């Protein structure tokens, strides 16, 4: 017989999930109702409205995909890219590379703009890519690279894209709720995020938003969307205004309760206050890390407050330190991914984890574990 699973109580300061407040956990445990229940329809409408607040957008088509951020990413690409469409993909970390994979699998023709891992996307390279490829239909970039902690200049990249009459797909998995994400002001056409980063909800849902221009493109496609589950033409019928909904799939009811509660908490705090809190906690952590002699991977100008990537000191066994932090302090921090595996640590200050108590605890634990 298998016993019930009682998880250890960790402090989550990796690249996500972040600590989930008890209020959100309690919401997850409320009684399940049907996904077509009028009360659930009301819940969905409130979630859509609060996500618009978080994304700073008026986009009607703003909702949570019933799956993790990877599926939100795929929804953007399979709907907006048709076979043969040229897509400029900015790659300055793991998640830009994953965008490239998505372009290939939709039959798109990728044009890759590479930047060093840890650097922001260089707008000049993007300008040049558009000049060499005036037929490019989409620019895809990661606003906040979770693999490195670098933030790119979304406003400038979106402006260049508009000047060339193309659409923008933006990954804001790690930025939404933590640093400014201004879809309408920037003119982003498709964006996807995750529930488990600066929204501090449990993992499994992917907030997305699409502009009118993106919808026009989807509705004028010549080929069907290759995914049934992620086809916006079908999902639209499910997430559109109450009263007209048609059955598409069974939504994850209880995780939606959790996302709703996390957005209520964000409303209560105020979006700008949440950004300021992430910034303030970052400054405190940074001072402490520097006092320990640790160096940041990303230049100050492009540094994400909510994801602090630091070099593993020379001669230190990075995995052993992470294990020690986990076992002795119940503290999770992140390892490097891809080319940065073994070379960096990623310390998250996301959502509910971005608080003084966590900053102090992390610094204390690191001090105790570093040689």
Closest approach of Cβ 175 to a second copy, in Å?
16
C-beta closer to a second copy: residue 7 or 315? 7
3-state helix, strand, coil in the chain (%, to 5): 45, 15, 40
Gyration radius of the chain's alpha carbons: 21
Per-position DSSP letters for 244-301, written without gaps between them: S----S---HHHHHHHHHHHHHHHHH-HHHHHHHHHHHHHHHHHHHHHTT--BSS-GG
C-beta closer to a second copy: residue 16 or 96? 16
Please give the C-alpha separations between residue 253 and each of 41, 67, 280, 330, in angstroms, as whole numbers. 11, 12, 35, 30
Tokens 């964000």 label which residue?
Answer: 266
C-beta closer to a second copy: residue 174 or 302? 174
Closest approach of Cβ 324 to a second copy, in Å?
13
Q: What is the DSSP letter of 31?
A: P
Closest approach of Cβ 199 to a second copy, in Å?
13
Closest approach of Cβ 196 to a second copy, in Å?
6
Tokens 């960096």 label which residue?
Answer: 344
C-beta closer to a second copy: residue 10 or 159? 10
C-beta closer to a second copy: residue 157 or 325? 325
Closest approach of Cβ 134 to a second copy, in Å?
28
Q: Where are the beta strands (DSSP E) in the chain?
A: 11-13, 61-65, 86-91, 109-114, 138-142, 144-145, 150-151, 167-171, 190-192, 206-210, 307-311, 331-335, 344-348
- Number of C-beta neighbours around residue 18 at 10 A: 28
C-beta closer to a second copy: residue 126 or 340? 340
Closest approach of Cβ 197 to a second copy, in Å?
9
C-beta closer to a second copy: residue 67 or 369? 67
Closest approach of Cβ 52 to a second copy, in Å?
12
């Amino acid at each position: 017989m298998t016993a019930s699973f009682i998880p250890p109580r960790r402090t989550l300061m990796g690249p996500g999930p972040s600590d989930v407040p008890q209020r959100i956990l309690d919401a997850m445990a409320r009684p399940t109702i049907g996904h077509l229940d009028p009360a659930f329809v009301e819940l969905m409408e409130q979630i859509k409205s609060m996500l618009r607040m978080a994304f700073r957008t008026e986009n009607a088509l703003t909702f949570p995909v019933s799956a993790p951020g990877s599926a939100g990413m795929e929804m953007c690409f399979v709907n907006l890219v048709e076979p043969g469409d040229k897509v400029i993909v900015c790659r300055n970390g793991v998640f830009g590379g994953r965008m490239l994979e998505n372009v290939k699998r939709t039959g798109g023709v990728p044009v890759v703009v590479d930047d060093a891992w840890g650097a922001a996307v260089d707008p000049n390279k993007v300008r040049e890519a558009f000049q060499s490829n005036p037929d490019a239909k989409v620019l895809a970039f990661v606003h906040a690279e979770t693999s490195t902690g670098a933030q790119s200049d979304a406003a400038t990249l979106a402006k260049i894209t508009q000047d060339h009459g193309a659409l923008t797909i933006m990954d804001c998995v790690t930025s939404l709720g933590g640093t400014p994400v201004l879809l309408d002001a920037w003119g982003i056409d498709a964006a996807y995020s995750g529930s488990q980063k600066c929204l501090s909800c449990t993992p499994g849902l992917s907030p997305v938003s699409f502009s009118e221009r993106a919808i026009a493109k989807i509705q004028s496609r010549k080929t069907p969307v290759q995914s049934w589950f992620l086809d916006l033409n079908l999902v639209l019928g499910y997430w559109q205004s109450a009263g007209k909904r048609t059955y598409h799939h069974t939504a994850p009811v209880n995780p939606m309760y959790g996302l709703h509660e996390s957005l209520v908490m964000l409303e209560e705090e105020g979006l700008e206050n949440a950004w300021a809190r992430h910034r303030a906690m970052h400054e405190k952590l940074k001072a402490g890390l520097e006092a320990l002699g640790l160096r940041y991977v990303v230049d100050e100008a492009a540094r994400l407050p909510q994801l602090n990537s630091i070099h593993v000191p020379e001669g230190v066994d990075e995995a052993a330190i992470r294990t020690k932090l986990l076992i002795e302090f119940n503290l999770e921090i992140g390892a490097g991914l891809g080319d940065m595996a073994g070379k960096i640590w990623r310390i998250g200050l996301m959502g509910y984890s971005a608080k003084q108590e966590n900053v102090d605890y992390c610094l204390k634990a690191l001090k105790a574990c570093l040689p």
